[in-house]
Structure 1
Amino acid sequence: MDIRFHEAGVAFEGRAAVEPLSLVLTESRIGIIGLNGSGKTTFARMINGLTKPTSGHVTVNGLDTIKDGPAVLKDVGFIFQNPQNQIILPIIRDDIAFGLKNKGLNTSAIDAAVDATLLRFDIKHLAKRRAHELSGGELQLSALAALAITSPKILIMDEPTNQLDLKNRALVERTMAALEEDLIVITHDLPLLESFDRVLLFHGNRLHADASPTDAIRLYRELALT
C-alpha cells in the first residue's frame, strides 16, 4: 500500500471538511478514529476517490484519485457503515457474482470464483439466503466477499462492528485479522485497533495525531472526555 496525500483537503461551500494535510500511508493495518463529524469518513472517502480533494491531490499506488479515478476504484474497495445498502441483488450468491459480470468471464469461471470466495469467508451456508434475512455480522461478511472477489488491493471498512452483538463482532474481527488485503478501518470500537500498525486521530476536521494505537487511543480519550 502506498497512499500519499499532498496538501490535500476538502471544503464544502467554503467550510473545511478536512483541512489540507500531507502524509504517506504504507502500513498494512491502519485505523481512523475521532468524534462524529471530525472528518474521518471524508478523509477515508478521499482515498478511493468517492470524495475528490478540493485542494492538493491524493495518489494511491501511483494513481491519482481524480485523473485515474476508475483505476483507483478497482484498487480500493469501500464497505459502508450499513453494508446492506451496497448489497445490490437479493440472493447473496448472485450479489457476490455481480462484480465479475462485466469482466468477460464465462459462467463456469464466475461460478468457480464465487465458490472460492464463499469458502474463503466461510459463508457457503449463506449463498442462497436473502440479504434481509442475515444478521449484522453476516451482512458484513457478504459485503466483504462481494468486494474481495473483484481483487482490490486495499479495503476500507466504515464502522464494521457497529451495533453488532458479541458473537457477530468476534466473527467480523476474526475475518478482518485473516484478510490478505491491506486494511483501513474507521471505527469507534477502540479495542478493534489494538493490534493495528498505525492509527490516525481526527479532531475538528483536521489530523490531530498520527501514532501507535496505544498513543492515539489515549489522546482520543483525553479529547473526548475532557
Structure 2
Amino acid sequence: MPELSPPKPSHKLSPGIDLASASVRLGGRVVLDGLSLRLTEGRIGVLGRNGSGKTTLLRLIAGLIAPDRGTVRVDGVDPFRDRKATLAALGILFQNPDHQILFPTVEEELAFGLLQQGLAAADAAGRVAELLAAEGRAHWAKAPVSTLSQGQRHYLCLLAVLLMEPQTILLDEPLAGLDLPTQARLARRFAALPQRLVTITHDPAVLREADRVLWLEAGRIVADGPPDEVIPAFSAEMARIGARDADADLAG
C-alpha cells in the first residue's frame, strides 16, 4: 500500500484544527467522547478499526455535524456555523466518490465549489478549463461523470477540492477499493500537495510516513504520537483481537 508522504517543506501551514472536549451522540450512543486535540502537523493520520468513530470525527471537523458538547475550530472558525469560511479553509475527499459527486458532467462538478465560493460563472469555467488542461484532461470537460472509472471519479473529486484551494484536506480511506496503479498515482499526487492532510484509515501502512498518528477506539484516543510508536501498538492489538473467534466486542 502506498504511503502518504510529508508536504513540501517550503509551504507555510495554516493554524490548524482544535477540538475542546468535543462529544457526539448518534442514535442515543456516544460515538466521540470528550476529545481534546490540537492538530497542526502537515501529515496527520487517524487510525482505527470500523466503528471506532473515525468517520464521525471527519464529519465533525468538516462541519457536517455539530458536537453535542464541546467545540471545534478550523483555523479559528466554527466549521458547522460558518460554512462559507470553512469552504476556504477545508476540503474533504470521501472514500466513495459517488457520495460526493452531484452533477452530470465533469466541468459542472468542478465548477460547483468555485460558484459556492462566490466566483462568477465565467471565471469558474475558465479556472476549470485551465486545471483540466494542466492535468492533461481537457477532453474530460464535457464527459458524463458516469463514463469515468471509479479511480477517475476519485481523481475528479480531488481536483474539485484542489480548485477551491483549501489549507487542509480531509481524506477518508483515500486509497481503499482502488487497484494498485490507481493507488500509486493518487499517493504520488497526495505526496506532492502542500496542504495539511488529515487521513482517516484502518490501514496502518498508509500512515508510516505521517508526522503524527492518532489511534481512535470507541470514540476515545488510545494513543497519540509518531507512527513508529503508535502503529506497532495498534497492529499488535488488532492481531490480538483477530486471534479470538468471537467478535462480540464490536457490538453496541
Distance change (3 Å), C-alpha of 1:120 and 1:76 = farther
Q: Which residue of 1 aligns with 2:175?
A: 161
* Alpha-carbon distance in 2 for matches of 1:121, 1:219: 40
Letter in 2 for 1:100: L
Q: Is the 8 A contact 2:64 2:80 kept in 1?
A: no
In structure 2, runs of 5+ residues without a counterpart are 1-13, 241-252
Map of 1:211 onto structure 2: 225
Give the Cα–Cα distance (whole angstroms) in 1 for the partners of residues 203 and 134 of structure 2.
25
- Shift in Å, 1:78: 1.4
Distance 2:146 2:195 in 1: 27
Pair 1:190 & 2:181 matched: no
CA distance in 2, matches of 1:13, 1:225: 30
Residues 91-123 of structure 1 show CA distances to partners (whole Å, capped at 9, x for unaligned) of 21221122223524251x223311332245454
Is 2:109 aligned against 1:95? yes
1:177 lines up with 2:191 in the alignment: yes
**Does residue 105 of structure 1 match 2:97?**
no
Which stretch has the larger CA shift, 192-201 or 122-131? 122-131
SS of the residue corresponding to residue 17 of structure 1 reads: strand
SS of 2:156's partner is: helix
Q: Which residue of structure 1 lines up, in the alignment, with residue 152 of structure 2?
A: 138
| In structure 1, C-alpha distance between the alignment counterparts of 2:134 and 2:219, rounded to whole Å | 38
Q: Percent identity?
A: 37
Equivalent pair of 1:121/1:145 in contact (CA under 8 Å) = no
Name the aligned partner's letter for residue 52 of structure 1.
Answer: A
- The offset of 1:190, in angstroms, is 2.6
The count of residues paired between Structure 1 and Structure 2 equals: 225
Distance 1:122 1:169, change over 3 A: farther
TM-score, length basis structure 2: 0.82
2:87, 2:164 within 8 Å by CA — same for their partners in 1? no
Checking the alignment, whether the CA contact within 8 Å between 1:57 and 1:65 is kept in structure 2 is: no
Aligned partner (choices 49, 53, 73) of residue 59 of structure 1: 73
2:52 to 38, 53, 63: 38
2:168–2:196 Cα contact (<8 Å) kept: yes
Task: Sort the Cα spacing of 1:121 and 1:22 in 2 relative to 1 into closer, same or farther, 3 A.
Answer: farther
Change beyond 3 A, Cα 1:122–1:85: farther
Q: Is the 8 A contact 2:173 2:199 kept in 1?
A: yes
Cα distance change on mapping 1:64 and 1:110 into 2, 3 Å: closer
Q: Deviations over 1:103-151 (max 9, x none)?
A: 24251x2233113322454543433332222222211110011122122
After superposition, the CA RMSD in angstroms is 1.9
List, as ranges, runs of 4+ consecutive aligned residues in structure 1 with deviation greater than 6 Å: none
